[in-house]
Structure 1
Amino acid sequence: MQSHARGHLVYAAGGVLAVHTERGTSVVPANRVAWAPAGFTHYHRAHGDTDMRIVFLAPSLARLLPDQPAVFLTSGLAREVLLALTGPRNYDDAATGYSRAARYRLLRVLVDELREAHEQPLHLPEPRDDRLQGIARMLYENPADNASLAELGKRIGAGTRTLSRLFRNELGMTFYEWRTQLRVYHALVLLAEGHDTTQTAYACGWANPSSFIVAFTNIIGTTPGRYRTGRQTTTPTSRLPTVVKPSG
């Protein structure tokens, strides 16, 4: 765990990254960039063959981005700026050969691109309520668990209406939206580790590969097959994706 006095961007030039903060987990597949504001305690985890790039922002630029963790789709220009700023060592420092003024100009271009980008629905909020934490632990351990919210509630001694209200009020989404986000996160990890679409679909709880492909594409913007082989599109995804109920 670590925190920084400056906000920073974490870019997955290849593979899948997860950025964990006290607010939750931001999933960063290739060609997305995660933003962590200054002061947020966090840690990174890489899945598969991952190329991680990190760029710190001065406060004058950081204030132009959200004050909470977020994930953005990177444009072609933003990608090239990130690669230019980080150089061969995957980290922003003087070794890239740019003067301070040139670096600032590139950083301003990068921030402008991100402000115009589509914010991705790839941040999985971390529950604080003990009852929601109990459900989260069960589903983290077994993403394929297709129990309904009522069935999960019986395991922890809470009613469906109470849990539904907690999901909406505390996490800003329904139980099924949250579980779909969780499952897509696990799917990204499995795909990065070399599993095929069918194996991943069943391992993450979808009744069939077709419903998995629809849910994955709604959130990530490309199919699991294209994502796995690296033939990714840059189709923007909506801020609130259509949720396909994983149990089919």
Structure 2
Amino acid sequence: MGSNYYGERRLTDEMPVIVSAQHADHHTSRTTHVHHHPEGQLYIPLQGVIVVEAGDVRQVLPRGRLGWIPPDMPHGATAHGNTFRPGLAGYTIHLAPSWCADLPAQSRVMRMSPLAVSLLERMACWPHGTPADAAARRLATVFLDEVRTADEEPLHLTMPRHPRLQAMAAAIADHPADETDLDEWAARLGWSRRTLTRHFRDQTGMSLVEWRQVARLQKGMELLNGGASVTTVALSLGYDSVSSFIALFRRILGVTPARFAQFDT
């Protein structure tokens, strides 16, 4: 899904939006390399999960969520489909720059409202994925109103800017089961506990404990989507009990891990 998804034409006020269906096959994943374009972009999975790297933010999108990418932001994505359910995997929506003015300046993960889901079903039926008349354009503007007011979800991780903190965050994201605590990380980085805590929160908007929880949740969604059992996932992520993992998963995603694995939420 690069910048030439609709040929050599760029989106304009005359053709402000295009909806593209994405299909799953028997491959376990499909990757779009880092690129950028002047249009804004929405990723909307219907099955599996989509992992989006956008700027310094990593998003993991299950069904029922959408990922927003502002215009000109470098980004890439990997779609992890369910190999047992080939077919329609989801949609991407590209928006002309003028239609992005009131949308967030940073990438976001948001929950789809029931109205937004219904509107998307109508928009997906557009010939060539574009609105053919004024009524269709009004439909798109109502959809964007729903996006603007959508609830943000804690399914994204902001990478810190400082090189030492980046290295620490990357290590945690790669090995979320690692139980290295604040004092040990502070000693490794040559900082005090207080300095590490302050800089990490200033640059990520989260405490280290919160950041690690989301990193574990992101990894857990990927493993569950790949067919791993709830018990296997919980233990591989470093949880002492499966019930602790289930409680966190349900608190943040609103469903149990077993239901997520069965229905992709």
Same-fold status (TM-score > 0.5): yes
**SS of the residue aligned with 1:14?**
coil
TM-score by length of 1: 0.84
**What is aligned with 2:96?**
58
Distance in 1 separating the partners of 2:202 and 2:130: 48
**What is aligned with 1:107?**
140
Alpha-carbon shift at residue 230 of structure 1 (Å): 0.9
Distance in 2 separating the partners of 1:151 and 1:97: 54
Q: Select which of 90, 95, 119 maps to 1:81.
A: 119
Identity %: 36
| AA in 1 matched with 2:76 | Y
How do residues 1-248 of structure 1 correspond to structure 2 at under 5 angstroms? Answer: 1-49=34-82, 51-87=89-125, 94-96=127-129, 98-230=131-263, 232=265
Bigger Rg, which one: 2
Distance in 2 separating the partners of 1:203 and 1:48: 21
Distance in 1 separating the partners of 2:130 and 2:208: 49
| Higher percent of residues as strand | 2
User: Contact 2:49/2:80 (CA < 8 Å) preserved in 1?
Assistant: yes
Alpha-carbon shift at residue 86 of structure 1 (Å): 3.7
User: Contact 2:68/2:109 (CA < 8 Å) preserved in 1?
Assistant: yes
Alpha-carbon shift at residue 26 of structure 1 (Å): 1.6
Alpha-carbon shift at residue 100 of structure 1 (Å): 4.1
**SS of the residue aligned with 2:35?**
coil
**SS of the residue aligned with 2:46?**
strand
| AA in 1 matched with 2:109 | V
**What is aligned with 2:85?**
none
**SS of the residue aligned with 2:47?**
strand
| AA in 1 matched with 2:233 | T
Q: Deviations over 1:76-133 (max 9, x none)?
A: 221233244345xxxxx74247514343222112112223321111121011111211
Moved more, 8-17 or 73-82: 73-82
Q: Kindly tell me the number of residue pairs found equivalent between the two proteins.
A: 227
Distance in 2 separating the partners of 1:147 and 1:139: 9
Alpha-carbon shift at residue 151 of structure 1 (Å): 1.6
| AA in 2 matched with 1:4 | H
| Higher percent of residues as helix | 1
Distance in 1 separating the partners of 2:191 and 2:223: 32
The runs of 5 or more residues in structure 2 that have no matched partner are: 1-33, 83-87
Moved more, 96-105 or 120-129: 96-105
The runs of 5 or more residues in structure 1 that have no matched partner are: 88-92, 233-248
Distance in 2 separating the partners of 1:111 and 1:199: 39
**What is aligned with 2:19?**
none
**SS of the residue aligned with 1:105?**
helix
User: Contact 1:10/1:33 (CA < 8 Å) preserved in 2?
Assistant: yes
TM-score by length of 2: 0.79
Pick closer, same or farther for the CA change 1:153–1:34 going to 2, 3 Å.
Answer: same
Alpha-carbon shift at residue 176 of structure 1 (Å): 0.3
Distance in 2 separating the partners of 1:153 and 1:131: 10
